[in-house]
Amino acid sequence: MNAFVVTDPFSDTAAIQAQMIAAGFNAESVVYVKSARALMDGLLTHRCDVIVAEYAVANMDIWRLSTLINSMRFNAQGRPIFLLKETCEIDIPVLLAKEYGFTVVSLENLAGRLVAVSDPTNRQFGGSANPVRHTVLIIEDDKDASFTAFHALKDLYDVDVADDGLSGYALWEAKHHDLVLLDLMLPKLSGEDILSKIMAINKNQSVIIVTALDKPKIQNKMLLNGASEYLCKPFSLDALKTLCQKLLNKSKLLHQAHFAESKLNAIRNLVWLLDYALSQNDADRLKQIMAALKGLLPNNLTEDEKISLIAREF
């Protein structure tokens, strides 16, 4: 396998190199580049099976970089993209990472993830030829109902099925699926208890209550307790598919809004620290804060924009 590692020009790549070696890559099979332009040029002339990247490289962040990599010009050969978690100033929602075609991984786990890439049956790391799919968990003790739902959704999503409450909740704890289809009348652990446990951990988790209990009081209670939708049996498979896609789209928008708010808060805090460092004439702290700001806001200004800003009066 061959890899490209994309880092900021000032980054120390020693720890990354150690992980690449641990994953079985040698010096000849890894190309280290310091800009998005160098990466694009390399992808046009070299074979690449996997890309490891920092959050911001020169004038491009991971969002623009992954969009470009997965564009028609470069997607002839599907390849997973791993973003190093330590280079992110704020947490990136998994759902958004999937939408943009990359996987967030900590540096200490990079080698293990790279080894897993070599398994051709492994779908979870994506790439343009093997896109990461949304994950759905069906917790349903009625075998016929779960079988029908599974086969209705399996071509659209990666679907797990559990036939009792305890095993279903354990599956969700392990994977935190993008969407949960949850029956209420379950053995070992009720759907209502599962919903409470899930909401205590992730109040933004999308959950569809799927039940034969067509009672307004129960419906209102479940929705107030955090369920996203309440679907009564029997239902059409088209209605199920439409509802699943609707909730996943809604969840994406909510995560985008939350990420934007988190990014704005991080920038606000850094601006305050910048002002404080200026008042203390702390040059070293100023450099650290500016580096953090550049990570959140990569410099993608044109030359004309830069000239205009330099001439601007405040």
Q: What is the pLDDT of residue 264?
A: 87
Q: Is residue 51 scored above 90 in pLDDT?
A: yes
138-180: per-residue pLDDT in tens?
999 999 999 999 999 999 999 999 999 999 999 999 888 999 9
* CA dihedral over 173, 174, 175, 181, signed as positive or negative: negative
Residue pair 65/53 in contact by the 8 Å Cβ criterion: yes
CATH assignment, 3-117: 3.40.50.2300
Question: Taking the complete model, does pTM exceed 0.75, yes or no?
Answer: no
Residue 56 CB contacts under 8 Å (≥ 6 apart), including other chains: 8, 62, 87, 294, 295, 296, 298
User: Residues 10, 11, 16, CA angle at the centre, nearest 5°?
Assistant: 155
For Cα atoms 12, 13, 15, give the angle at the middle one, nearest 5 degrees.
Answer: 105
Quick one: what percent of the chain has pLDDT higher than 90? Answer: 39
Q: Could you read off the pLDDT of 245-287 as tens digits, one per residue?
A: 888 888 888 777 778 888 888 889 999 999 999 999 999 999 8
CA pair distance 204, 207, nearest whole angstrom = 9
Map out the domains of the chain as residue ranges.
Answer: 3-117, 135-250, 252-310
Shared fold status for 3-117 and 135-250: yes
Identify the CATH assignment for 135-250 out of 3.40.50.720, 3.30.70.3450, 3.40.50.2300, 3.40.50.280.
3.40.50.2300
- Interval 230-258 mean pLDDT: 85
Q: Which of 69, 52, 65, 40 is nearest to 11 (CA)?
A: 52
pLDDT higher than threshold 80 for residue 58: no
Residues 6+ positions from 113 with CB-CB distance below 8 Å: 82, 103, 105, 125
**What pLDDT, on the 0 to 100 scale, is given for residue 119?**
66
